[in-house]
Amino acid sequence: MKYLFILLSLLLLLVAPFFGQIDIDMSKINLLSSMEQKLFWDLRVPRVILAFFTGALLALSGLIFQSLFRNPMSTPFTLGVASGATLGTAFAIVFGAVYFMPLFGFVGALATIVILFGITSRLKAFETSTLLLVGIALSFFYSAALMILFYISNETQSYEIVRFTMGSLDVVGIAGTMPVVAVSILLLGLSLSYKREIKLLLTSYDNAFLKGIEVKRTNMVLLIFVSIAIGVAVSITGPIGFVGLIVPHMLKIIFKRSADKLLIPTFFYGGVFLVFCDLVSRNLTLTSDVPIGVITSFIGAPFFVYLLVRRKSV
């Protein structure tokens, strides 16, 4: 069964660029300056790459957050980083800096990280619960600020903000995918290097401390880097929900392993899941793509409920 999953996933990744609203003449995809060549290599292949590494990043971030907070409902957006990126992007849209939307989005995410860890560093003891509460408070503040931007924006600007909050994988050329690819690979490498620490933190902080783990430092390093990675991804693709929640839980139910043994599978299948959702969004209608965030929730939520019910009934 394991190898069947891998085989089907690889097959999906290979065929994904060939399907879309416009049919491609396979004999012309390598013909210079042809429409097929530009469509395939400049739009579809980069889009599949961006979808895979964004999904991988979100899923792995969700697994790390659920492990560190020891909360099964934690997501990559729990600390308000995505809300900060969304607010920064909305600010760019409303005040005429549309070409710098990714930059403003990342600045918003980075500012959130600075505020979060600036506040918690002043406390006598670092506690993930306190960090979580500060993140929730910031999310509410950002939501209020976003409502103000909606109020002062015109109809076109409001539409652009709404579209951004639904997520988008539109990209032109491989270069546009590189920031997400880079932080995804770095996050995977970091998580694997902290594999032992994550395993011990899953039991209890006290047990991890007795085993020689610097709990505060480990939490800070992982949470800061995950937050930066999320900030990079969200500033480019917008907030794409449900991937960081559903994929780790799906794999825990299917493979019945602890989080420390699911780092690579979560990375891989998170990418495959988002590629599949993007494939659906690109082929669902003949007029335009359905926002990717809508598809992830629409597909993910019922399947997630089914898995939970099935697990409880077994």
- Amino acid making up residue 196: R
Alpha-carbon distance of 205 to 174, in angstroms, equals: 42
In a domain, 302, yes or no: yes
Does residue 178 surpass a pLDDT of 90? yes
Highest mean pLDDT among 84-88, 215-219, 254-258, 296-300: 84-88
CB 275 within 8 A of CB 52: yes
Q: Which residues contact 133 (CB under 8 A, 6 or more apart)?
A: none
Alpha-carbon distance of 226 to 221, in angstroms, equals: 8
Mean pLDDT of all residues in the chain? Answer: 87
In a domain, 182, yes or no: yes
Alpha-carbon distance of 74 to 162, in angstroms, equals: 24
Alpha-carbon distance of 27 to 4, in angstroms, equals: 30
Q: How many domains does the chain fold into?
A: 1
In this prediction, residue 126 carries a pLDDT of 63
Alpha-carbon distance of 222 to 228, in angstroms, equals: 10
In this prediction, residue 35 carries a pLDDT of 84
In a domain, 145, yes or no: yes
The tens digit of pLDDT for each residue in 265-288 reads 999 999 999 999 999 988 876 667
Q: Which of 174-178, 256-260, 270-274 is least confident?
A: 256-260
Report the alpha-carbon angle 27-53-164, nearest 5: 95
In this prediction, residue 307 carries a pLDDT of 66
For residue 208, what pLDDT band results from cuts at 50, 70 and 90? confident
Report the alpha-carbon angle 282-242-66, nearest 5: 145
Please compute the mean of the pLDDT values over residues 37-47 and round it to a whole number.
90
In terms of residue numbers, what domain contains 48?
Answer: 23-313
In this prediction, residue 20 carries a pLDDT of 79
In this prediction, residue 55 carries a pLDDT of 96
CATH of the domain at 236: 1.10.3470.10
Place of tokens 């006598």: 124
In a domain, 2, yes or no: no
Alpha-carbon distance of 142 to 82, in angstroms, equals: 10
The tens digit of pLDDT for each residue in 134-174 reads 888 999 999 999 999 999 999 999 999 998 999 989 888 89
SS (H, E, C) the chain: CHHHHHHHHHHHHHHHHHCCCCCCCHHHCCCCCCHHHHHHHHHHHHHHHHHHHHHHHHHHHHHHHHHHHCCCCCCCCCCCHHHHHHHHHHHHHHCCCHHHHHHHHHHHHHHHHHHHHHHHHCCCCCCHHHHHHHHHHHHHHHHHHHHHHHHHCCHHHHHHHHHHHCCCCCCCCHHHHHHHHHHHHHHHHHHHHCHHHHHHHHHCHHHHHHCCCCHHHHHHHHHHHHHHHHHHHHHHHCCCCCHHHHHHHHHHHHHCCCHHHCHHHHHHHHHHHHHHHHHHHHHCCCCCCCCHHHHHHHHHHHHHHHHHHHHHHC
The tens digit of pLDDT for each residue in 9-31 reads 999 999 999 887 777 877 778 77
In a domain, 5, yes or no: no
In this prediction, residue 76 carries a pLDDT of 83
In a domain, 6, yes or no: no
In this prediction, residue 286 carries a pLDDT of 60
In a domain, 105, yes or no: yes
Does residue 311 surpass a pLDDT of 70? no
The residue ranking higher by pLDDT, 174 or 209, is 174
Backbone angles phi, psi at 286, to 5 degrees: -100, -5
Please compute the mean of the pLDDT values over residues 111-128 and round it to a whole number.
79
